């Protein structure tokens, strides 16, 4: 792969992503158990006669966990949009006054090994277990 990338000059991000997609050493290696996990869930809840819709997500916890793990490993933005503190609070020993402009570094939150464990492993199951079950990318957790 290194040899391929040395001579490769991408014209845009799509070129770069397409080049990286050809590398067999990248990202998630699907195995029989992981594929069977989400295909059985899809077959049970959706069947094979229609597409998945957003309203189906609450009945698809493994698919939801796959999406959350994907967002953890590859956040859309490293810094979340500017927020204003709605009340005085303490974060990691720092006093944040009401009205303070706050940037949240989602990448560093998603790379906290004391919380996530093995950072580079793709493990959607972690969102189906204990402490990570409280994390919800649609709510107040991120």
Q: What is the pLDDT of residue 142?
A: 41
Buried b (16+ CB within 10 A) or exposed e, 12-23: eeeeeeeeeeee
pTM of this prediction?
0.62
pLDDT digits (tens, 9 = 90+) for 116-125: 888 888 888 8
Residues 101-119 have a mean pLDDT of 85
- Phi, psi angles (nearest 5°) of residue 96: -110, 120
Task: Name 110's bridge partners.
Answer: none
> How many whole angstroms separate alpha carbon 45 and alpha carbon 39?
10
Share above pLDDT 70 across residues of the chain, in percent, rounded to a whole number: 65
Q: Could you tell me the pLDDT band of residue 2, with boundaries at 50, 70 and 90? A: very low
Q: Could you tell me the pLDDT band of residue 111, with boundaries at 50, 70 and 90? A: confident
- Phi, psi angles (nearest 5°) of residue 36: -65, -35
- Phi, psi angles (nearest 5°) of residue 34: -70, -40
> How many whole angstroms separate alpha carbon 129 and alpha carbon 11?
42
Q: Which of 3-12, 34-43, 87-96, 110-119 has the highest mean pLDDT?
A: 87-96
Between strands 89-91 and 101-102, the pairing is unpaired
Q: Does the structure show a pLDDT above 90 at 99?
A: yes
Q: What is the pLDDT of residue 119?
A: 81
Closest alpha carbon to 124 in 83, 69, 73, 53? 69
């Amino acid at each position: 792969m290194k040899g391929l990338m040395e001579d490769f000059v991408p014209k845009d991000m799509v070129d770069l992503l397409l080049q990286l997609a050809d590398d067999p050493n990248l990202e998630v290696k699907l195995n029989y158990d992981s594929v069977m996990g989400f295909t059985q869930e899809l077959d049970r809840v959706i069947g094979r006669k229609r597409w998945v819709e957003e309203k189906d997500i609450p009945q698809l916890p493994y698919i939801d966990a796959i999406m959350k793990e994907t967002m953890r490993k590859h956040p859309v933005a490293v810094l979340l949009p500017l927020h204003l503190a709605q009340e005085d609070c303490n974060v990691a020993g720092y006093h944040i006054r009401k009205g303070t402009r706050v940037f949240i570094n989602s990448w560093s939150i998603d790379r906290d090994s004391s919380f996530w464990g093995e950072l580079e492993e793709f493990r959607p199951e972690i969102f189906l277990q204990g402490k990570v079950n409280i994390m919800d990318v649609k709510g107040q957790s991120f």
